[in-house]
Structure 1
Amino acid sequence: MTDYKLNNLNLSKLEKQVSIPKYNRSNIKTGIVHVGIGGFHRAHQAYYTDKLLSDESIKDWGICGVALLDFDTKIYNVLKEQDGLYTLVVKELDGTLTKSIIGAITEYMFAPENPMQVIEKMASPEVKIISLTITEGGYNYNEATKTFNFENPLIQHDLKNPQAPKTIFGYLTQAFKLRKERGLLGCTVQSCDNVQGNGHVAKEMILSYVKAVEPELVSWIEANVSFPNSMVDRITPATSPSDITGLLETSGIDDVWPVVCEPFHQWVIEDDFIAGRPAWETVGAQFVKDVVPYEKMKLSLLNAGHSVLGILGALIGYSTIDEAANNPEISAFLKSFMDKEVTPILGNLEGVNLEKYKESLLQRFGNIYIKDQIDRICSESSAKFPIFVLPTVNAQLKQNGPIEYAAFVVAAWAIYSLGVNETGDELVVKDAMKTILNEKAIASKENPKAFLEIESVFGKIKDSAEFVDIYTNSYNNIVEHGVEKCVMEMYNKD
Structure 2
Amino acid sequence: MPILPPFGPVPPSVLIPSYDRAAVRPGIAHLSVGNFHRAHQAVYLDRVLARPGNAHWGILGIGVMDDAHERAKAEALLAQNGLYTLTECPADAPDSVRFVGSIVDYLHAPDDRAAAIRRLADPAIRIVSLTVTEGGYYVDAAGHFQLDHPTIAEDLARQVPHTVFGLVTEALRLRRDAGTGPFTVLSCDNLPHNGRVARTAFLAWARARDAELADWIEAQITFPNTMVDRITPAVGPLDVTRLDAGSGVEDRVPVFCEDFIQWVIEDHFCAGRPPLEEVGVLFTGDVTPYEQVKLRMLNASHSMLGLPGMLMGYRIVSDIMHNPDVVALLDHSLAQDAEPLLQAPPGMELHEYAAQLLRRFSNVAISDQLPRIASDSASKLPVFVRPTAEGTLARGADASRIAFLLSCFAEYLRGHDDNGATYEIHEPHLGPDDLALAADADPAKALDMSVFAGWGLRDHPAFVELFARTRTALRTGGTRACLRQLISPPDSAPSS
Shift of 1:214: 1.1
Which of 152, 156, 159 is the equivalent residue of 2:156? 159
Measured in 1, the distance between the counterparts of 2:125 and 2:231 equals 29
Which of 72, 82, 87 is the equivalent residue of 1:84? 82
Does the C-alpha gap of structure 1 residues 441 and 474 become closer, same or farther in structure 2, counting only changes over 3 Å? Answer: same
Whether the 8 Å contact between 2:403 and 2:467 is mirrored in structure 1 is yes
Shift of 1:324: 1.6
Amino acid at match of 2:352: K
Which of 393, 401, 409 is the equivalent residue of 1:413? 409
Structure 2, gaps ≥5 residues long: 491-496
Shift of 1:353: 1.4
Are residues 1:23 and 2:35 paired?
Answer: no
Which of 315, 318, 326 is the equivalent residue of 2:314? 318
Q: What corresponds to 2:281 in structure 1?
A: 285
Q: How does 1:78-477 map to 2 (within 5 A)?
A: 78-94=76-92, 96-143=94-141, 145-163=142-160, 165-433=161-429, 435-436=431-432, 437-443=434-440, 446-464=441-459, 465-477=461-473
Does the C-alpha gap of structure 1 residues 98 and 79 become closer, same or farther in structure 2, counting only changes over 3 Å? Answer: same
Does the C-alpha gap of structure 1 residues 129 and 230 become closer, same or farther in structure 2, counting only changes over 3 Å? Answer: same
Shift of 1:97: 1.2
Amino acid at match of 1:331: V
State the number of aligned residues.
486
Whether the 8 Å contact between 1:449 and 1:462 is mirrored in structure 2 is no
Shift of 1:435: 4.7
Does the C-alpha gap of structure 1 residues 62 and 457 become closer, same or farther in structure 2, counting only changes over 3 Å? Answer: farther
Shift of 1:15: 5.7
- Superposed CA deviations along residues 351-389 of structure 1, whole A, max 9, x for unmatched, are 211111100100111111211111111111111011011
Whether the 8 Å contact between 1:128 and 1:187 is mirrored in structure 2 is yes
Which moved further from structure 2: 392-401 or 223-232?
A: 392-401
Amino acid at match of 2:144: T
Structure 1, gaps ≥5 residues long: none
Q: What corresponds to 1:73 in structure 2?
A: 71
Measured in 2, the distance between the counterparts of 1:162 and 1:353 equals 52
Measured in 2, the distance between the counterparts of 1:397 and 1:212 equals 39
Describe the SS at the equivalent of 2:27: strand
Does the C-alpha gap of structure 1 residues 88 and 136 become closer, same or farther in structure 2, counting only changes over 3 Å? Answer: same
Does the C-alpha gap of structure 1 residues 283 and 15 become closer, same or farther in structure 2, counting only changes over 3 Å? Answer: farther
Shift of 1:168: 1.0
Shift of 1:490: 1.9
Whether the 8 Å contact between 2:11 and 2:248 is mirrored in structure 1 is no
Amino acid at match of 2:181: L
Whether the 8 Å contact between 1:415 and 1:441 is mirrored in structure 2 is yes
Measured in 2, the distance between the counterparts of 1:297 and 1:249 equals 37
Measured in 2, the distance between the counterparts of 1:9 and 1:110 equals 20
Shift of 1:395: 2.1
- Superposed CA deviations along residues 252-276 of structure 1, whole A, max 9, x for unmatched, are 3100110000010000111111111
Whether the 8 Å contact between 2:386 and 2:455 is mirrored in structure 1 is no
Amino acid at match of 2:438: A
Describe the SS at the equivalent of 2:219: helix
Describe the SS at the equivalent of 1:268: strand
Describe the SS at the equivalent of 2:14: coil
Whether the 8 Å contact between 2:4 and 2:10 is mirrored in structure 1 is no
Shift of 1:460: 4.5
Describe the SS at the equivalent of 1:210: helix
Measured in 1, the distance between the counterparts of 2:168 and 2:394 equals 38
Does the C-alpha gap of structure 1 residues 404 and 435 become closer, same or farther in structure 2, counting only changes over 3 Å? Answer: same
Whether the 8 Å contact between 2:304 and 2:330 is mirrored in structure 1 is yes
TM-score (norm 2): 0.94
Whether the 8 Å contact between 1:7 and 1:85 is mirrored in structure 2 is no
Q: What corresponds to 1:8 in structure 2?
A: 5
Which moved further from structure 2: 98-107 or 391-400?
A: 391-400
Describe the SS at the equivalent of 2:152: helix
Describe the SS at the equivalent of 2:184: strand
Measured in 2, the distance between the counterparts of 1:467 and 1:257 equals 46
Amino acid at match of 2:6: L
Whether the 8 Å contact between 2:29 and 2:127 is mirrored in structure 1 is yes
Shift of 1:146: 3.2
Describe the SS at the equivalent of 1:142: coil
Measured in 1, the distance between the counterparts of 2:97 and 2:285 equals 34
Shift of 1:399: 2.8
- Superposed CA deviations along residues 127-153 of structure 1, whole A, max 9, x for unmatched, are 11000100001111222x431112322
Shift of 1:300: 0.4
Which moved further from structure 2: 369-378 or 36-45?
A: 369-378
Q: What corresponds to 1:50 in structure 2?
A: 46
Shift of 1:457: 4.3
Amino acid at match of 2:153: Q
Measured in 2, the distance between the counterparts of 1:478 and 1:89 equals 39
Measured in 2, the distance between the counterparts of 1:179 and 1:63 equals 19
Describe the SS at the equivalent of 1:148: coil
Does the C-alpha gap of structure 1 residues 405 and 160 become closer, same or farther in structure 2, counting only changes over 3 Å? Answer: same
Does the C-alpha gap of structure 1 residues 36 and 458 become closer, same or farther in structure 2, counting only changes over 3 Å? Answer: same
Measured in 2, the distance between the counterparts of 1:249 and 1:321 equals 23
Whether the 8 Å contact between 2:97 and 2:247 is mirrored in structure 1 is no
Amino acid at match of 1:46: A
Measured in 2, the distance between the counterparts of 1:371 and 1:59 equals 35
Does the C-alpha gap of structure 1 residues 93 and 295 become closer, same or farther in structure 2, counting only changes over 3 Å? Answer: same
RMSD: 1.8
Whether the 8 Å contact between 1:93 and 1:369 is mirrored in structure 2 is yes
Does the C-alpha gap of structure 1 residues 450 and 342 become closer, same or farther in structure 2, counting only changes over 3 Å? Answer: same
Amino acid at match of 1:28: V
Measured in 2, the distance between the counterparts of 1:60 and 1:30 equals 6
User: Percent same amino acid at aligned positions?
Assistant: 37
